[in-house]
Structure 1
Amino acid sequence: MSSANTRNIKDANQKAATRLYPTRNDLPEETRAKVVAVMNERLAELIDLALVIKQAHWNLKGPQFIAVHEMLDGFRSGIDAHVDEVAERLVQLGGTALGTVQQVSKNTSLETYPADIHRVEDHLKALADHYAGAGKRVRKSIDQTDELGDADSSDLLTGVSRTLDSNLWFIEAHLQESA
């Protein structure tokens, strides 16, 4: 493929990503555009988190392997459900969900997950950092979407926040020493 064709594809992708499609949703177009941008940011982070959960799940080694391995399966399922909800919400608002690996890599604000770790404890520490980062951004977005007048997106993100906080609690409980 020539670079001209690649550039045309990238230009077309960028236009589709920022263009709003018609909808009878009564939120003002400017509000919808801002919420779509916020939701695409969270979508990238949630997809990133879903992928690193599997990275850890596949590569765990050591004590507590089976318990953590199985726990992460449940975490992944929960995050996948939220990915779908966030993507569908931004499309309901007339936006385009940016969920390809390339778009996620470009748009996530989470730190790169270490690919060279294997110990259960190391994965739990890295996952705790990722969950904390995603949770912080989701809580900020709850406020942003609420201030923009989109109670539905704010409510949806509140559910995401509860899941992230719950999963973080489980991860941190594995890392804490009993008294």
Structure 2
Amino acid sequence: MSTQDSGRIVTMLQVRLHALNDLHLTLKHIHWNVVGPHFIAVHEMIDPQVDQVRSMTDDLAERIATLGGEPDGTPGALVKARTWNDYSIGRAEAIEHLGALDLVYTALIKDHREAMRATEESDPVTQDMLIEQLRGLELFQWFVRAHLESSGGRLSTRGATTESGAAGQAADQARNQP
């Protein structure tokens, strides 16, 4: 691999590292702040996701180092580099957190897929790692969406563009179910 390709991939992976570090902190935040009748189900569903996302960050950091980069996992670097807003939901019912988390996963998966496509020619080893991470992230989103979907397949957060909007839509649907 050329030095130019390796540098480009290191830069891209650093952004993915920040995104996954942010996700694992967001998941712990949800784990600590979820309440309501589905508390235990969501509380216990989140911790394995945290553990697997942390493992993904380790894989990314090690790949950055393997390619000659210096992985930066400090909170300050994450906040300085991120292009997304901080998770906006505090103490809330399980369904509200799941509605917001669905949007978090959607954005993260979209960006991970772009990184996967960008490594197809220049670094199939990194692409393989990203594909495996996508498999896990998409599985986690499926777990979340199982709480948000009607039996007819309608997603309660459909069309939501903000975490608070998705949280509200999910809560409204839950309240209006027969």
Q: TM-score, normalised by structure 1?
A: 0.81
The CA deviation string for residues 30-64 of structure 1, in whole angstroms up to 9 with x for no partner, is 11100000000100000000000000000000011
**Residue type of the alignment partner of 1:34:** R
Q: 1:90 aligns with which of 31, 45, 64?
A: 64
Runs of 4+ aligned structure 1 residues displaced above 6 Å come to none
Partner of 1:29: 3
Q: Unaligned 5+ residue runs, structure 1?
A: 1-26
The CA deviation string for residues 56-101 of structure 1, in whole angstroms up to 9 with x for no partner, is 0000000111111010001101101100000100110000111100
- Equivalent residues in 2 for 1:133-148, closer than 5 Å: 133-147=107-121
Q: Distance in 1 between matches of 2:117 and 2:56?
A: 18
Partner of 2:146: 173
Partner of 2:135: 162
Partner of 1:52: 26
- Equivalent residues in 2 for 1:4-153, closer than 5 Å: 27-147=1-121, 149-153=122-126
CA positional deviation for 1:146: 1.5
- Indicate conservation of the 8 Å contact 1:142/1:158, yes or no: yes
**Residue type of the alignment partner of 1:127:** L
| Matched residue count | 152
- Indicate conservation of the 8 Å contact 2:89/2:97, yes or no: no
> Which deviates more from structure 2 when the two are superposed, residues 46-55 or residues 109-118?
109-118
Q: Distance in 1 between matches of 2:3 and 2:65?
A: 13
Q: Distance in 2 between matches of 1:39 and 1:60?
A: 31
Larger Rg: 1
Q: Distance in 1 between matches of 2:83 and 2:104?
A: 10
Q: Unaligned 5+ residue runs, structure 2?
A: 153-178
Q: Distance in 1 between matches of 2:145 and 2:70?
A: 35
CA RMSD of aligned residues (A): 1.1
Q: Distance in 2 between matches of 1:125 and 1:115?
A: 10
